[in-house]
């Protein structure tokens, strides 16, 4: 008698209802997972660490190129708002790179900008002949942990395009006939507390006039060339606005953007303070002879009247 042929072709599979039998694909999946189990095994932490570092660096560079960048303050030209000096640990500031895509730079803003071609650098950046040292320095500058390019400056905007700036009236910078309110000015010991005077300068449209808070120790628009624009800086050269001091921890805080023009005081321009008081002195001096002559005339009139009586 011929026995029926079983539908179960696997020796290790007992007869079971058709709906409970594993399909060929599922059997392949189980065998495949056993065969290739080592491929699916997780990488060790030490193998993934270099990848994480590279990804973090790439993201950091992209963020700093398009959104916000960390800059190191290399000099003391913005003391005491921003701290920096040769051979010490300067402040690291976070610079907002997108704000001026929507608004215009204004008086009081502390900005980082690329110096125009005629500008001389404030710091000397020693170059190394070692390609690895130069590469690490460039990377450190890119992410804010090394001094910036010597062509990058940080200053405060004093006047914008169309305004006229000059110094000084009672030791105060004047813009459009008004003396500025500048509580942030720092007088460095040994430099004196008197600002260097300069003649009126009209800032061209599309430019800003910048000065350092450390007023007598700052290579700014007063002393730099500008291709015929008296040291003014093109708005297009501005990299961004300084927002926050991020390092060191003891210096954490926002960067003041006090507008010096908000409470500016109207003044008479073009003459020192002693000359501005000259008309009053002349008036007082001239009053005495006028009063004396008036009295003499009054006395003469009274005598004439008395004689007629």
Collapsing DSSP to helix, strand or coil, 12 comes out as coil
Query: Do 95 and 239 form a contact (C-beta atoms < 8 A)?
Result: yes
The 10 Å Cβ neighbour count of residue 22 is 13
Collapsing DSSP to helix, strand or coil, 72 comes out as strand
Query: Do 91 and 64 form a contact (C-beta atoms < 8 A)?
Result: no
Helix axes 45-66, 131-142, angle to 10 degrees: 60
Specify whether 155 is catalytic.
yes
Q: How far apart are CA 29 and CA 41, in angstroms?
A: 16
Q: Which of 155, 178, 202, 241 is catalytic?
A: 155
Q: Using the structure block, give the residue that is written with the tokens 């303070």.
A: 273
Helix (H), strand (E) at residue 179: strand 178-179
Q: Which of 75, 77, 219, 221 is catalytic?
A: 77
Closest CA to 246 of 67, 70, 99: 70
Beta bridge partners of 152: 114
Closest CA to 241 of 93, 121, 27: 93
User: 3-state DSSP helix/strand/coil percent for the chain, to nearest 5?
Assistant: 30, 20, 50
Catalytic residues: 77, 155
């Amino acid at each position: 008698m011929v026995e029926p042929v079983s539908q179960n072709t696997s020796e290790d599979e007992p007869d079971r209802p058709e709906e409970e039998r594993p399909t060929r694909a599922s059997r392949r999946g189980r065998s495949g997972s056993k065969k290739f189990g080592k491929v699916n095994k997780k990488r060790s932490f030490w193998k993934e660490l270099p990848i994480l570092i590279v990804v973090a660096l790439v993201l950091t560079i992209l963020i700093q190129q398009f959104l916000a960048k960390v800059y190191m303050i290399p000099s003391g030209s913005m003391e005491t708002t921003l701290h920096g000096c040769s051979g010490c640990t300067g402040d690291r500031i976070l610079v907002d790179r997108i704000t001026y895509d929507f608004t215009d730079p204004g008086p009081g803003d502390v900005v980082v900008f690329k110096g125009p071609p005629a500008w001389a650098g404030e710091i000397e950046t020693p170059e190394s002949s070692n390609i690895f040292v130069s590469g690490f320095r460039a990377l450190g500058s890119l992410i804010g942990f090394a001094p910036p390019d010597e062509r990058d400056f940080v200053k405060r905007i004093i006047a914008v395009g169309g305004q006229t700036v000059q110094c000084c009236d009672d030791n105060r910078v004047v813009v459009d006939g008004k003396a500025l309110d500048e509580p942030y000015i720092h007088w460095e010991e040994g430099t004196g507390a008197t600002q260097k005077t300069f003649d009126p300068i009209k800032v061209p449209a599309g430019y800003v006039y910048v000065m350092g808070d450390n007023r007598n120790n700052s290579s700014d628009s007063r002393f730099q060339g500008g291709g015929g624009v008296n040291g003014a800086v093109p708005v297009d050269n501005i990299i961004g606005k300084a927002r926050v001091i991020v390092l060191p921890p003891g210096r954490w805080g926002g960067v003041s953007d006090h507008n010096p023009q908000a409470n500016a005081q109207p003044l008479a321009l073009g003459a020192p303070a002693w000359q501005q008081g000259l008309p009053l002195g002349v008036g007082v001096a001239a009053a005495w002879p006028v009063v004396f002559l008036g009295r003499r005339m009054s006395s003469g009139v009274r005598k004439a009247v008395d004689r007629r009586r």
